[in-house]
Amino acid sequence: MKALLQRVLEARVAIAGQTVGAIGPGLLVLLCAERGDSEAQADKLLAKILKLRIFPDAAGKMNRSVQDLDGQGMNGLKGGLLIVSQFTLAADVSGGNRPSFTGAAPPDVGRRLYDYFVAQARAAHAQVQTGQFAADMQIHLVNDGPVTIPLHIDPAL
């Protein structure tokens, strides 16, 4: 399973001009299920995302996780997660200039793992918003830092 994390001051996802999910400070999580992935990879990835220390502490060092955010300087809000499915993270361009997405999980498996990941995130974290699986979405964000981090949990693990 793959994710691309972007530390944001705010982010929202729109479909046909209508906002379907939005957060203030937190993480935009672009999520991709790959062939061979299971709930075990989703659990490991979520645990890593929730504990990843990429937010500044009082001294300005990246020493706090999204779950450590206490709302100081953020209008009292906890850090949010905006989770958006993105199968294109499985792109393989080694064979030419047109990406191949054969490494992505089939749509039914991808949807099941995305829904599972979101449900687990909502059980573990107070503020979770989402996009819509397989929709044509527009993502609006203000990247903070900028901080962008790729994560990959190998199905073999």
Q: 141: closest CA among 19, 4, 13? A: 13
Q: Which of 6, 41, 86, 120 is catalytic?
A: 86
81 contacts 125 by C-beta, under 8 angstroms: yes
Q: 131: closest CA among 143, 114, 110, 116? A: 114
State the DSSP code for 95.
T
Give CA–CA dist 64/15, Å, rounded.
32
87 is annotated as an active-site residue? yes
Q: Which of 6, 87, 117, 120 is catalytic?
A: 87
Give CA–CA dist 90/113, Å, rounded.
15
Q: 156: closest CA among 44, 12, 7, 27? A: 44
Q: Which of 19, 88, 132, 138 is catalytic?
A: 88
Strand partners, 82: 28, 129
Strand partners, 149: 5
How does strand 128-130 pair with strand 80-85?
parallel
72 is annotated as an active-site residue? no
Residues annotated as catalytic (active site), given as ranges: 86-88
